[in-house]
Amino acid sequence: MIKAIEWVDGKVRILDQTKLPLKEDYLEFTNPHQVAEAIKSMKVRGAPALGVAAAFGIALGAKNSTAKTSDQFIDEIKRVCEEMSQTRPTAANLFWAIQRMKRLVHKSKNLCVEDLKKVLYEEAMEIAREDEEANRRLGALGAALIEDGDNILTHCNTGTLATGGYGTALGVIRAAWNQGKKIHVYVDETRPLLQGSRLTCWELMKEKIPATLITDNMAGFLMSMGEISKVIVGADRIAANGDVANKIGTYTLAVLAKENNVPFYIAAPTPTIDFNIPSGKQIPIEERNPREVTHIFGQQIAPSGISIANPAFDITPHELIEAIITEKGIVRPPFEINLEKLVRE
């Protein structure tokens, strides 16, 4: 399987997702600044993949350190963590992975520099491994919700490219397909960055899963015609009450699904849940560069000088969500209670 991000021979190798599907360009990074830049410019994206990328960036910082003492080393790692946390504001997994690396450094502060480097490297590898495993487990659990003949709508990209491997919403679809279920996928192109058309279609074609690409504004019409039986999307952050921040357009799909009695599912590993955030209202929404709206692959598509809004995410209130599929189980309302139960068990 293709990997969005991998640790290869002491370097971080990523598939440049801004070039897909026209080019499969791999980039190799030797320092954390390069990783931070790749996150900001969305060469690597997707909440779970961002967790892995942040951990790998910190591991690169550790590897490159010339600190003589553990204290110096720990200060350096804290600065790298700070740099990683300044890349993108919404994805919970990014902050979760940084927190985990920080906590480990703190816990290991009595180790020598060489041993600190080793434990940070191992933790980063573990974060990547765990994410792929969580994806496979939530895929298998979620596949039980899928039936023969389902027409599943998905948004953005939640596949191998968005994760440590396998995928979340696309992992559920992949698992159902591998179980022999006869399904068909509708893919929202997902403007402005077209992760649906560029990335999800590319992944589905590689797996030969039947798929039809649509523009974002067609999903409602297809639902009104009875053409869509389920909606499954990923999440960038899930608040304690079950409100979900996800790629812009997700809220619209949830409202359309409710209007047309189509079940609307979220698929995400538990590190996407942020219990420090009581509701969606407190989740910071990233506003990105206007050029993402006015230009496509460098081609200008709007008049020069027009004002632009470009929120990268929106908030779907928990009332619109049928269930949240995680690696620890499928959570149903009341989410406030059942999400906490899930991670406590």
The residues that touch its own copies, with contacts defined as CB under 8 A, are 21-22, 186, 188-192, 194, 197-198, 201-202, 205, 210-222, 224, 248-249, 251-252, 255-256, 258-259, 293-294, 296-297, 299-303, 305-311, 314-315
* Least Cβ distance, residue 266 to its own copies (angstroms): 17
Residue 144: strand, helix, or coil = coil
Please say if 9 is a catalytic residue: no
Residues 6+ apart with CB under 8 A from 109: 70, 74
Q: Which is nearer to its own copies, 148 or 309 (CB)?
A: 309
Which residue is it, tokens 């999440």? 235
Which phi and psi angles does 114 have, rounded to 5°? -60, -45
Q: Which is nearer to its own copies, 9 or 301 (CB)?
A: 301
Q: Choose, from 131, 150, 188, 236, the residue flagged as catalytic.
A: 236
* Least Cβ distance, residue 187 to its own copies (angstroms): 8
Distance CA 72, CA 67 (A): 6
* Least Cβ distance, residue 170 to its own copies (angstroms): 15
Q: Which is nearer to its own copies, 50 or 219 (CB)?
A: 219
Please measure the distance between the N-terminal and C-terminal CA atoms of the chain and give it in whole angstroms.
32
Q: Which is nearer to its own copies, 147 or 259 (CB)?
A: 259
* Least Cβ distance, residue 61 to its own copies (angstroms): 35
Q: 3-state SS of 22-41?
A: CCCCEEEECCHHHHHHHHHC
The answer to whether the CB of 16 falls within 8 A of the CB of 236 is no
Which phi and psi angles does 213 have, rounded to 5°? -90, 135
Residues annotated catalytic, as ranges: 236
